[in-house]
Amino acid sequence: MAGDRYGVADAETRAFLQLIRSKPPPKIDGLLMLIKEVPKQYAQDEQRLLTGSDAGQQLGRAIVRCQGLKARVRAKSNESVPEGQLEARKKEIKEGTEKYIDCLTYSACTARWKNYTQCWTGLTKMSPDELRRLQEGGIETFCQSERQSLERCVGNLVSGAVRAADASSIVEAELNSERSILK
């Protein structure tokens, strides 16, 4: 019986296990914005420079690897549902989005993703009393340094890819300017 392991009632055990499963997704707004905005904000030559950098290639592999999850979330978002199933659909979309973010962060920064996930799954070894004390600080405080490390890793990749594209396009513009002066 699941309750025997922790010495608590089944309802409390279920709540505990639900807490363990509710690992907050890392905040990777920069990457999500980059994925959404690159075609709109960057010219084709800048897109080529962006994806040509080491950071851009790493992000590109993550994006390609996870595009199936993104497509499933988008499809669920576009399906019409009967009014009585709206909450269930919202939950499906939220869970799908979290899986997509999990996939992107795993694919982009595997070692730090593993550290965060290992820390989070390590909570299963805690007693309910220890977890209650931790919960008082809020769920966002669990494994906070590991989550922030993962967020920084993804952010650094985004920053590196954008800098590579912007720096290369500036250098290219300066070269073109110098060429026109020399003519």
Q: Does residue 179 have a pLDDT over 70?
A: no
Residue percentage of the chain with pLDDT more than 70 = 79
How does pLDDT run across 91-118, given as a tens digit for each residue?
999 999 999 999 999 999 999 999 998 9
Contact 3, 13 (CB under 8 A): yes
Dist CA 9 CA 71 (whole Å) = 40
Query: Quick one: average pLDDT of 169-183?
Result: 51
Q: Pick 167 or 62 by higher pLDDT.
A: 62
Query: Quick one: average pLDDT of 69-75?
Result: 94
| pLDDT on residue 15 | 59
Q: pLDDT grade, residue 6 (50/70/90)? A: very low
Q: Does residue 126 have a pLDDT over 70?
A: yes
Domain ranges of the chain: 24-182
